[in-house]
Amino acid sequence: MLDHGQAPPLTSRPANPLFRRKPVERLVTEAGQGEGGALKRSLTMWQLTMISIGATLGTGIFVVLGEATPIAGPAVWIAFIVAGLTALFSALSYAELAGSIPVSGSSYSYAYATMGELVAWICGWCLVLEYGVSVAAVAVGWGQYLNELLDGTIGITIPETFSAPLGEGGYINMPALVVVLLCMVFLLRGAKESARINSIMVAVKIVTLVLFCVIGFMGVKAGNYTPLAPLGITAISTAASMLFFSYIGFDAASTAGEEAKNPKRDLPRAIMLSLLIVTGLYCLVALVAVGAMPWQDFEGTEAALAQIMENVTGHAFWSIVLAAGAVVAIASVVFAVLYGQTRILFAMSRDGLVPKAFAKVDEKTGTPRVNTIIVCLFCGVLAAFIPLGELANATSIGTLFAFALVNAAVVILRYSRPEMNRTFKVALFPVTPILGFVFCAYLMWELPWLTWAYFGGWMAAGLVIYFLYGMRRSSLAEAAAEVPTEK
């Protein structure tokens, strides 16, 4: 054990530098410290929960539902449960690690402490895909509902040339770019102010979905639920793999570990509570949606929930209300996920794996200002030019890979550091994390080969960057160079 006041060792020096690990004590000691300043601890458990819900509840139900229903049929709600169960196993692992290692790097930091630098880099690179690229995918969906709102209120829509990406009939998706830039402006104000704005938007979208369920229930027809799985069980699995995109973001609370007032207590609670709320709403909305409209009619529908509202009531007013709620809901996802991405890059930068600019903290706002601007501009460009479908699938596989590593990290840390104080423990250990790993692997297997090809290209690019930059510039590499090799 460490003596009181003694700084924890930066690293041990393994035979292979690719597997050098960063001690948990060092991760916690460095929490919040950036270049030229420190992050501010200002977030409560409620705000952490709202960040997770904000990052999760949105495009999956407002947009991707319309793509998954033609695949799974009326059983789409079962696909949501399968995807949610996979997320639950991983959420339990996240909750344990968040309570033990309350830092901003999320699964990247957990991998660094348990599996070494190379695996941590791979995990962090997957998180860049999960958070950064999912922002772009979500922003594309925002533009679809914005057009629904404009059409219903003032009778005009943004021309497809300027509201669709390349390959889908347009040249640039301006609404998607605009929503990312608007979120950037709010994020630059500070974590506490950002959390307040996020909480308001989350409340609006929860009310909107509850309203949909109440009105949509009036149009439910029992015949729309049969046959339950017209395209077979395999189709449900395929849809579940696609819908896992809907659960991306429940781990966003873990990226706020260095800005939470009481991270060891509040992070596990926020992660579990947010996942339960989101899963319940997803399943309820999906049940009502397929009951109110034949599953075949979802094909090619970009704003299915708004269409159902209009079909049930016979009035455009309610579809306008739904579209307005969706605009706010999807914007909150963009907002919360951008927040998570900046904090992950903050942690990676502090470790020297990406340029130090990402760890520079503005003294006035306590936010990584340069980091936020770079991330938002990058995501905005992706949103403006890349189609939603490919983004959603690519994001899902990156997320599933990162979640699989988190489940493995729980097992490794339990056996390597059994004495650690854990404010939350995974039940039925080690069965639960093993099941979480297996579920993630299964859903990855169900994704199309083209998605695997994109993922392989992404990982290859990441490894090139690591070996050319991160491996030599990491803080552990610098520390190892100063420590004599033990004989």
The per-residue pLDDT for range 161-182, each reduced to its tens digit, is: 887 777 777 788 888 889 999 9
Between the CA of residue 16 and those of 12, 113, 172, what are the distances in Å?
11, 16, 46
What is the token pair recorded at 89?
A: 């196993």
| 338 neighbors 130 (Cβ within 8 angstroms) | no
Q: Could you say which residues of the chain have pLDDT below 70?
A: 1-15, 32, 36, 59-60, 302-303, 387-393, 480-487
In sequence order, the 6+-apart residues with CB closer than 8 A to the CB of 324 are: 149, 208
The confidence score (pLDDT) of residue 211 equals 92
CA distances in angstroms from 312 to 216, 219, 316, listed in the order given: 7, 5, 10
Q: Which two tokens stand for residue 419?
A: 């004495």
Residue 462 to residue 456: CA distance in whole angstroms: 10
**Per the structure block, which two tokens stand in for 447?**
């994704």
Cα separation, 272 vs 480, in Å, equals 38
Q: What is the pLDDT of residue 93?
A: 93
Burial of 155-189, coded b for 16+ CB within 10 Å and e otherwise, reads eeebeeeebbbeeeebebbbbbbbbbeebbebbbe
pTM of the model: 0.82
Angle at 89 between CA 375 and CA 345, to 5 degrees: 15
Compute φ and ψ for 33, nearest 5 degrees: -85, 125
What pLDDT sits at residue 168?
A: 73
Count of C-beta atoms within a 10 Å radius of residue 193: 15
